[in-house]
Amino acid sequence: MMMYLSITADDDVQRTLSFFEKMEARQGGLNMLGNRDASFCYLIESFPKLLVLSVDNHFKPLVNFLELVGVPKEGISTILLTFPPILFYDIEKDLKPKLHGLAKAGAEETDIAKMILKYPWLLSSSIQKNYNRLLAYFNVKKIPKASFDIAIKSWPHVLGCSTSKMKSMVEQFAELGVSRTMMVPVITSSPQLLLMKPKEFLEVHYRIATLFAHFVFLCIRLRFLMKVGLSKKEVCSMICRFSPILGYSIEVVLEPKLEFLLRTMKKPLKEIVEYPRYFSYSLHKKIRPRFSVLKSRNLDYSLEDMLSKNDEDFVRVYMGVEVPLVVPSVTSKDAA
């Protein structure tokens, strides 16, 4: 829940983390948070002062207020167990100002209940103070408050990010050529990127750049195959039958072998659709020599017939020559 927290935790957050650590050490661990009866005794153990608070004068008004701001009744226990310090909050002095702080951060009234239900730690003082620090930082960077507020609404974890960590990521973007104006769409559409470590971000950037390079590489080959007269359906069929074709060089492999097929062998394009493995054979060592043999004998053949056979079978079938089986001689050392 607080894995993205990189600011100094206040007492409320510290006590919550301590409560989670105690729960995790018990049999059942944090899964017990879903069971009110099982977790209640550990809640009292971690926050014994709860026993001195009045049910009628404190707890009931607190629950009623949470319902009033839109938290569903069945979700209140979730908030109280995942962020117990809220149980000590005074409605007028604590809760209302903190909810007002979320509203200042751009949260709509209808969204506030959803946010505190999912991220109740947003009500901690350290988070609210950090919002002002982040806002001041982005103001210096000339990034509009409205853009930052959109980021918070879609990814509230941003509020737990320290300004120093945020600064390192913004600088990382700048090094990659992302201008100030381009930062706005980055922040609003993918705010989770701001929470990454620079090293992790560079690794992701490298993988994306590599994938993009491969994508461009593949697109060039697809365009080439369609440019010579093949349909999309035929190209897809070829790839399904022999996917390595997409890795071959156009200049070194595809173009010269295609030219030989069409101009010298006088074969139609449908031949490579049926047998795309044709491009895997050496033009000079296999395709050209075998074509010469078949042409000299005026034989009809398909590309698969011509190329799929090993040398012995090709000689036997198309040249009518039986290749004797060579039995290796046995030396005296082997016999021994």
Q: What is the mean pLDDT of the chain?
A: 81
Helix (H) or strand (E) holding 75: helix 73-82
Q: What is residue 303's predicted lDDT score, i.e. its pLDDT?
A: 93
- Domain ranges in the chain are 11-196, 197-280, 286-323
Does the pLDDT of residue 73 top 80, yes or no? yes
Q: What is residue 336's predicted lDDT score, i.e. its pLDDT?
A: 33
| Overall average pLDDT of the 81-90 stretch | 88
In this prediction the pTM is: 0.52
Q: What is residue 34's predicted lDDT score, i.e. its pLDDT?
A: 55
CA nearest 138: which of 179, 100, 178, 166?
166
Does the pLDDT of residue 213 top 80, yes or no? no
Sign, Cα dihedral of 278, 282, 288, 294? negative
Q: What is residue 28's predicted lDDT score, i.e. its pLDDT?
A: 58
Q: What is the pLDDT of residues 265-322, one digit of tens each?
A: 999 999 999 999 999 999 999 999 999 999 988 888 899 989 999 988 888 888 775 5
Residue 42, exposed/middle/buried by CB under 10 A (0-12, 13-18, 19+)? Answer: middle
Q: What is residue 335's predicted lDDT score, i.e. its pLDDT?
A: 34
Q: What is the DSSP string of 132-198?
A: HHHHHHHHHTT--HHHHHHHHHH-GGGGGS-HHHHHHHHHHHHHTT--HHHHHHHHHH-GGGGGS-H
List own/partner pairs for 180-184 with CB under 8 A and 24 or more apart: 180/141, 180/142, 180/143, 183/141, 183/143, 184/143, 184/144, 184/147
**d(C-alpha 257, C-alpha 306), whole Å:** 15
**d(C-alpha 287, C-alpha 294), whole Å:** 11
First-last CA distance in the chain: 74
* Domain at 11-196: CATH code: 1.25.70.10
Q: What is residue 324's predicted lDDT score, i.e. its pLDDT?
A: 45
Token reading at 203? 């690794």
Does the pLDDT of residue 250 top 70, yes or no? yes
**d(C-alpha 159, C-alpha 101), whole Å:** 12
Using CA atoms, how far residue 139 sits from 148, 159, 333, in Å, is 10, 16, 87
330: DSSP letter: P
List own/partner pairs for 165-170 with CB under 8 A and 24 or more apart: 165/6, 165/195, 166/134, 166/137, 166/194, 167/137, 168/198, 169/193, 169/194, 169/195, 169/196, 169/198, 169/201, 170/141, 170/194
Q: What is residue 81's predicted lDDT score, i.e. its pLDDT?
A: 84
